[in-house]
Amino acid sequence: MAIPRTRPSAYPAILSYGFRPFFLLGSLQAGIAILLWLPVYYGRLETFSVFLPVDWHVHELLFGYLPAVVTGFLLTAIPNWTGRLPVQDFRLLVLVLLWAAGRVAVFFSAETGWLLGAAIDCSFLLAVVAAAATEIIAGRNWRNLKVLLPVATLFAANVMFHAEAHYQGISDMSRRLGLGAVVVLVMIIGGRIVPSFTRNWLVREKPGRLPASFGRFDLGTIALSAVGLAAWTFFPDSIATGVLLVAAAIFNAVRLTRWVGYRTLPDPLVLILHVAFAFVPVGLLLAGLSVFVPENIPMVAGIHAFAVGAIACMTLAVMTRATLGHTGRELRASGGTCAVFVAIIVAAILRVAAGMAPAMAILLHLSAAFWAVAFIGYAVLFGGMLMRPRLNSRRHSAS
């Protein structure tokens, strides 16, 4: 007999699967945090956080919205990997409340004290790693334990972030460690879903050349990139770091071409995955070149190619596809969905440009506006689907 997707429950539908609360809350938090950021940046609005304004901004995107989306993805993908029922109902509610408590604790940490705020905030990712590891081990799905390594690294980076901000006054190394961990996660997960979804669509709609299968080239590229990002974390100004990052950019660009993204133009749901991954080599290249010509290409350009380009584009691509598939809808991008994709791509391009031309403040403002449109647009378009029970129509695979 087929394993049921969820167990019968008296809890609301939004607590029936991990993607439901975390995609909705993560998208709202991403949009609202950026709308708050510019007034905070210009001193027109104050937080009650011990963090400096720039640290609050970095933290709430890197350790606020991102862990929510990563958790939603993991808790939805793991049942497919293990054949077990998903984490739902009370267990899921506890995770949601931990995440929400972290957002409140960070915002009001000046009132509660930095250590209590850090403990509450960091407990979420620790609980996620524990819950995910428990499910993977119980399902004897040993090979997917490696996916938790970047998540555990993100947890360590969050702990380091709080410590750096308290003892040094501003975060530094922890920002790059957390960002690098998520970029590696994009390489690992993206390396599965981009060619897989591309292959499925091409076989059905457009027979011909298919994406290359995962092999030693992919494994070597991920390893090289991880080493380069680790060097960037601890030795960001080293010539060797620059060489590693540029080499990783080249290998990731080649990796992307092997997935024949140019053949997916008719389907925005597949195409956006390729566009999102393209920002990985762009970010690596900019980060590498910033070592050699920092006066022309500042480090912030590469950081935002990673954050607004690779990570934000990929999370919206995955959130959209998973929401449609796991709520029983057809895997087809509506006009609104396409607008969300265009908005986040434009936000990424403008933010990288703003990093290279800081005097042009209009670029920063426009990027923030397009970012907010993308994430709040997702919440508006898909929020109802996330809160209502799954349709009884035929299933469409999404993970």
Band the pLDDT of 11: cuts 50, 70, 90. confident
Using one digit for the tens of pLDDT, what is the confidence trace for 261-292? 999 999 999 999 999 999 999 999 999 999 99
* Angle, alpha carbons 304-284-67 (nearest 5°): 55
Give the per-residue pLDDT at 46: 84
DSSP 51: S
pTM of the model: 0.92
Quote the crossing angle between the two packed helices 312-326 and 361-387, to the nearest 10°: 20
Given a cut of 90, is residue 306 above it in pLDDT? yes
- The pair of structure tokens assigned to 356 is 């290279």
**Rounded Cα distance, 242 and 114, in Å:** 35
Which residue do the tokens 């990997």 mark?
81
Band the pLDDT of 5: cuts 50, 70, 90. low
**Rounded Cα distance, 36 and 45, in Å:** 8
Give the per-residue pLDDT at 395: 42
Given a cut of 90, is residue 335 above it in pLDDT? yes
Band the pLDDT of 2: cuts 50, 70, 90. very low
**Rounded Cα distance, 340 and 334, in Å:** 10
State what percent of residues in the chain have pLDDT above 90. 86
Band the pLDDT of 60: cuts 50, 70, 90. very high
**Rounded Cα distance, 390 and 13, in Å:** 8
